[in-house]
Structure 1
Amino acid sequence: MFTEACCRLRKILLPTLSIALLFSSFAVVAHAQTSDTTLLVDIDHRAATSLDGDWHTIVDPYSTGLYNFHHEIKADGYFMNGTKAYNGEPLEYNFALSPTLKVPGDWNTQRRDLFYYEGVMWYEKDFKYSPKPNTHTFIHFGAANYRSHVWVNTKAVCEHEGGFTPFDCDVTGVVKDGDNFVVVAVDNTRSADGVPTLQTDWWNYGGLTRDVSLVDVPQQFIDDYDLHLSRANHDLIEGYVHVEGANPGTDVTVSIPELHATTHATVGTDDRADIKLPVKSLSLWSPDNPKLYKVNLASGSDHLEDEMGFRTIETRGTEILLNGKPIFLRGVSVHAEAPYRTGRAYSEKDVDTLLGWAKEMGCNYVRLAHYPHDQRMTRASDRLGILVWSEIPDYWALQFDNPAVLAKSKQQLGEMIRRDRDKASIILWSVANETPDTEARTKYLTTMANLTRQLDPTRLVTAALLVKTQKTATGSNKIVDDPLGQALDVIGTNEYIGWYEQKPAGADTTTWDIHYQKPVIMSEFGAAARAGHHGPATERWTEEYQADVYKHQIPMLNRIPQLRGTSAWVLMDFRSPMRTLPGLQDNFNRKGLISDQGEKKQAFFVLQKAYKDKTLGKAE
Structure 2
Amino acid sequence: MTTTSRRTALRLGTAFTALLGLGGTAAAQEPPLLPVSPVTALRPDILMTGAINRDGVDLSGDWTYSKDLYQTGKTDILGWAAAPRAQRFRDVNVEAEEGKNKYTFFEYDMDRGPHMTLPGAWNAAEPELRYYDGLIWFQRFFESGPLNGQRAFLRFEAVNYLTEVYVNGQKVGSHEGGFTPFTFEVTKVLREGKNQITLGVDSTHGEHTVPPKVTDWDIYGGVTRPIRLIRTPATYIDDFYIRYTEAGRILATVQLNGPDAAGKPVVLTIAALKLKATATTDISGQAQFDLKAPKALKLWTPDAPTLYEAGLTAGEDTLTDRMGFRTIAVKGMQVLLNGQPVFLRGICLHEEEFGSNPARRIMTETARALLTEVKTGLNGNFVRLSHYPHSEVTTRLCDEMGLLVWSEIPVYWAVGFGDAKTFDVARRMMTENVLRDRNRASIIIWSVGNETPSTPARNHFMGTLADDARAMDPSRLISAALLVHKKKVDGVLEATIDDPLVAKLDIMSANTYTAWYGNDRLEDVPPQRWKAPVSKPLIFSEFGADALAGYHPDDRRKYSEEFQADFYRATLANADTVPFLAGLSPWILKDFQTPRREHPVYQKGWNRKGLLSETGVRKQAFAVLSDYYRAKAGK
- TM-score in terms of structure 1 length: 0.92
> What residue number does 1:258 align with?
272
Among residues 224, 239, 249, which one is paired with 1:209 in the alignment? 224
Gap change, CA 1:346 and 1:314, over 3 Å in 2 = same
Contact 2:269 2:276 (C-alpha < 8 Å) held by counterparts: yes
Residues 566-592 of structure 1: CA deviation (Å, up to 9, x unaligned): 001000000011101101010100000
> What residue number does 2:28 align with?
none
Gap change, CA 1:512 and 1:70, over 3 Å in 2 = closer
Shift of 1:338: 1.5
Contact 1:262 1:277 (C-alpha < 8 Å) held by counterparts: no
Please state if 1:271 is matched with 2:285: yes
Contact 1:140 1:169 (C-alpha < 8 Å) held by counterparts: yes
> What residue number does 1:524 align with?
542
> What residue number does 1:33 align with?
none
Q: Secondary structure at the match of 1:432?
A: strand
> What residue number does 1:111 align with?
126
Q: In the aligned structure 2, how far is the partner of 1:300 from the partner of 1:338?
A: 41
> What residue number does 2:73 align with?
65
> What residue number does 2:108 align with?
93
Among residues 236, 251, 259, which one is paired with 1:238 in the alignment? 251
Q: Secondary structure at the match of 1:124?
A: strand
What does residue range 444-523 of structure 1 map to in structure 2 within 5 Å?
444-501=461-518, 502-523=520-541
Q: Secondary structure at the match of 2:124?
A: coil
Q: Specify the code of the residue in structure 2 equivalent to 1:303.
A: T
Gap change, CA 1:37 and 1:125, over 3 Å in 2 = farther
Contact 1:313 1:320 (C-alpha < 8 Å) held by counterparts: yes
What does residue range 31-50 of structure 1 map to in structure 2 within 5 Å?
38-50=46-58
Q: Secondary structure at the match of 2:75?
A: coil
Shift of 1:509: 2.5
Q: In the aligned structure 1, how far is the partner of 2:323 from the partner of 2:41?
A: 32
Percent identical: 38
Shift of 1:69: 4.1
> What residue number does 2:593 align with?
575
Shift of 1:70: 5.1
Q: Specify the code of the residue in structure 2 equivalent to 1:381.
A: C
Contact 1:240 1:275 (C-alpha < 8 Å) held by counterparts: yes
Residues 497-540 of structure 1: CA deviation (Å, up to 9, x unaligned): 12013112211231111222111110001100010111245411
Please state if 1:80 is matched with 2:90: yes
Q: In the aligned structure 1, how far is the partner of 2:430 from the partner of 2:502?
A: 19
Q: Specify the code of the residue in structure 1 equivalent to 2:252.
A: G
Contact 2:164 2:201 (C-alpha < 8 Å) held by counterparts: yes
Shift of 1:75: 3.7
Q: In the aligned structure 1, how far is the partner of 2:138 from the partner of 2:501?
A: 42
Shift of 1:260: 0.5
> What residue number does 2:384 align with?
367
> What residue number does 1:218 align with?
233
What does residue range 93-172 of structure 1 map to in structure 2 within 5 Å?
93-172=108-187
Q: In the aligned structure 2, how far is the partner of 1:342 from the partner of 1:603?
A: 23
Q: Secondary structure at the match of 1:481?
A: coil
Q: Secondary structure at the match of 2:272?
A: helix
Shift of 1:16: 9.5
Contact 1:104 1:346 (C-alpha < 8 Å) held by counterparts: no
Q: Specify the code of the residue in structure 1 equivalent to 2:283.
A: T
Q: In the aligned structure 2, how far is the partner of 1:442 from the partner of 1:114?
A: 38
Please state if 1:598 is matched with 2:616: yes
Q: Specify the code of the residue in structure 2 equivalent to 1:572.
A: K
What does residue range 263-302 of structure 1 map to in structure 2 within 5 Å?
263-280=277-294, 281-302=296-317
Residues 234-258 of structure 1: CA deviation (Å, up to 9, x unaligned): 2x21021111124432111101001
Shift of 1:278: 2.6
Q: In the aligned structure 2, how far is the partner of 1:409 from the partner of 1:67?
A: 27
Contact 2:42 2:427 (C-alpha < 8 Å) held by counterparts: no
Q: Secondary structure at the match of 1:568?
A: coil
What does residue range 405-424 of structure 1 map to in structure 2 within 5 Å?
405-424=422-441
Contact 2:121 2:361 (C-alpha < 8 Å) held by counterparts: no
Please state if 1:611 is matched with 2:629: yes
Contact 2:88 2:108 (C-alpha < 8 Å) held by counterparts: yes
Gap change, CA 1:256 and 1:495, over 3 Å in 2 = same
Shift of 1:344: 1.3
Q: In the aligned structure 1, how far is the partner of 2:361 from the partner of 2:510?
A: 26
Shift of 1:353: 1.1
Q: In the aligned structure 2, how far is the partner of 1:191 from the partner of 1:70?
A: 21
Contact 1:537 1:548 (C-alpha < 8 Å) held by counterparts: no
> What residue number does 1:439 align with?
456
Q: Secondary structure at the match of 2:153?
A: strand
Shift of 1:363: 0.6
Q: Specify the code of the residue in structure 1 equivalent to 2:53.
A: H
Q: In the aligned structure 1, how far is the partner of 2:42 from the partner of 2:252?
A: 28
Among residues 188, 198, 202, which one is paired with 1:183 in the alignment? 198
> What residue number does 1:22 align with?
none
Q: In the aligned structure 2, how far is the partner of 1:141 from the partner of 1:296?
A: 24
Shift of 1:333: 0.2
Shift of 1:343: 2.7
Q: In the aligned structure 1, how far is the partner of 2:287 from the partner of 2:45?
A: 23
Q: Secondary structure at the match of 2:569?
A: helix
Gap change, CA 1:69 and 1:481, over 3 Å in 2 = closer
Q: Specify the code of the residue in structure 1 equivalent to 2:198.
A: V
Contact 2:263 2:282 (C-alpha < 8 Å) held by counterparts: yes
- TM-score in terms of structure 2 length: 0.90
Q: Secondary structure at the match of 1:552?
A: helix
Q: Secondary structure at the match of 1:349?
A: helix
Residues 133-162 of structure 1: CA deviation (Å, up to 9, x unaligned): 221101111100000000000000010000
Q: Secondary structure at the match of 1:613?
A: helix
> What residue number does 1:357 align with?
373
Stretches of structure 1 that go unaligned for 5 or more consecutive residues are: 1-9, 18-35
Q: Specify the code of the residue in structure 2 equivalent to 1:342.
A: P
Please state if 1:316 is matched with 2:331: yes
Q: In the aligned structure 2, how far is the partner of 1:521 from the partner of 1:205?
A: 29
Please state if 1:553 is matched with 2:563: no
Among residues 337, 342, 349, which one is paired with 2:358 in the alignment? 342
Aligned length: 588
Residues 27-50 of structure 1: CA deviation (Å, up to 9, x unaligned): xxxxxxxxx862211011100100
Gap change, CA 1:536 and 1:37, over 3 Å in 2 = farther
Q: Specify the code of the residue in structure 1 equivalent to 2:270.
A: I
Contact 1:79 1:183 (C-alpha < 8 Å) held by counterparts: yes
Q: In the aligned structure 2, how far is the partner of 1:46 from the partner of 1:471?
A: 57
Contact 2:263 2:285 (C-alpha < 8 Å) held by counterparts: no
Shift of 1:89: 3.4
Contact 1:56 1:124 (C-alpha < 8 Å) held by counterparts: yes
Q: In the aligned structure 2, how far is the partner of 1:14 from the partner of 1:91?
A: 45
Q: Specify the code of the residue in structure 2 equivalent to 1:288.
A: D
Contact 2:144 2:194 (C-alpha < 8 Å) held by counterparts: yes
Q: In the aligned structure 1, how far is the partner of 2:105 from the partner of 2:242?
A: 57
Stretches of structure 2 that go unaligned for 5 or more consecutive residues are: 1-35
Q: Specify the code of the residue in structure 1 equivalent to 2:479.
A: T
